[in-house]
Amino acid sequence: MSTQEVLDAIPHRDPFLFIDDILSLSCKKIECTRKISGKEDFFKGHYPGNPVMPGVILCETIFQAGAILISRIINEEITGTPVVTRVNDIKFKNMVKPGDNLNIEVELTEKITNVYFLKGKIKRENKTCVQLNFACTMIKGEM
């Protein structure tokens, strides 16, 4: 899928958009990519001389892939914004550095009314960098 389809699915924009392309998408799973150029603003301070992608940005990358999946599941039946309401079992296993190509996978594990329970992970070169479980709730209107 194209970058435009990513932009159509979620409200995030540069410099806070961390999904480049969607490789595959089903009713329960999404696989996306992100090329880490090293020019991202957060590398200026994290850390000079030894740039490492912050863990919170890695988590956000997974959340954005989950938001795209949810937007496709609801298929415009429901308007609103998916908001992360729970994060569990985070495991950071490998660092992400400039030049890395990331593979982001998110899977829907359960849906209860307007709450979506998901699990996600980021890999580079077939090595897991981070994995976590999270929940999103659809929020209607202004927060």
Q: Is 66 left (phi over 0), alpha (psi -120 to 50) or beta?
A: alpha
What digits encode the pLDDT tens for the residues 94-107? 999 999 999 999 99
**pLDDT tens by residue, 57-97:** 999 999 999 999 998 887 655 567 789 999 999 999 999 99
Instruction: Tell me what pLDDT residue 86 has.
Output: 97
Nearest C-alpha neighbor of 96 from the set 43, 139, 28: 43
Parallel/antiparallel/unpaired status of strands 81-92 and 29-35: unpaired
DSSP code, position 7: H
Domains contained in the chain, CATH given: 3-139 (3.10.129.10)
Q: Which two tokens stand for residue 32?
A: 């996306």
Catalytic residues: 46
Please name every residue paired with 86 in a beta bridge, in sequence order, or none if there are none.
Answer: 135
The pTM assigned to this predicted structure is 0.93
Q: What pLDDT, on a 0 to 100 scale, did the predictor assign at position 1?
A: 60
